[in-house]
Amino acid sequence: MSEAKPQDGSTVKGYRTLTEKDISNMNRLKEISRQFIAQLEFLNTGDTDPRWLAIAKTDMQTACMAACRAVARPNADC
């Protein structure tokens, strides 16, 4: 998977320029999410309920997105 280039806020309306700390924090959040989802995929090979694993994956993706928005702080109308 290729890495997205950080936006400086000038090309996407409603977003501010991210600091190095912001980018680092967002990358840490995304890594935690990847690790959690990898663990779910590992559990999916065993005797677990796939429906609940799918719900957990969706909820983790939602949590990661919300946490990244908390760091990025886009305009309220985005």
Alpha helices by DSSP H, 1-78: 20-43, 50-72
Q: Which domain holds residue 57?
A: 20-72
Within a domain: 64: yes
Q: Which amino acid is at 30?
A: K
Contacts of residue 37, defined as CB under 8 A and 6 or more positions apart, other chains included, come to 57, 60, 61
Within a domain: 12: no
> Per-residue pLDDT tens for 2-49?
566 665 555 678 888 899 999 999 999 999 999 999 999 999 998 999
Global pTM value: 0.80
Per the structure, the count of domains in the chain is 1
pLDDT score, position 76: 84
**Cα(44)–Cα(57) distance, integer angstroms:** 11
Q: Which amino acid is at 50?
A: P
pLDDT score, position 12: 72
> Per-residue pLDDT tens for 39-77?
999 999 989 999 999 999 999 999 999 999 999 999 888
Within a domain: 49: yes
